[in-house]
Amino acid sequence: MKKTETILEETERHEYQEEKKVKFSRLLKFYLIPGWREPEFEATEFEIGKIKSKRRLFRRLLTPLSIVGILMILFIAFLAVYSPWLTPFSIENLTPPKYPFETPYLDPSTKHPFGTTKYGFDLLGRIIWGARTALTAA
């Protein structure tokens, strides 16, 4: 039994010395060769960097300002898609060939929630139909 124990101790000591040599050579390379990096470490670092970049992008998208911006874009897209059902005025009633005979610059009311332009056109209807035109052009 003693013989096997001593053999094991010797091999363990030999492995420990080999590990020390490898560690020392790695440290020596690290200190003496500019820009030297451990290849195994580089691969692991690359994988971690990919995961972190995805997380960073997701964190940037979850800031309050970006959420407000995304909601505004979705709202404008909703207005553009459903514009015929959201405004009582058709596009023909909001274009210049026919001027309405209402007074210009009306204050917001139930009939015109955003008021009217200097020619008497409904502002809400023009914004909604304009969003549709802009979305179609994009």
Which pTM does this prediction carry? 0.49
The two three-digit tokens of residue 28, written as one number: 């020596």
Two structure tokens written together for 98: 């026919």
pLDDT in tens, 64-123: 999 999 999 999 899 888 888 888 878 777 777 767 666 788 888 888 888 888 888 888
The sign one gets for the Cα dihedral 74, 76, 81, 85 is positive
24-68 pLDDT, tens digit each: 777 676 667 776 666 666 777 777 777 777 777 778 788 899 999
Q: Where are the domains of the chain?
A: 2-61, 82-137
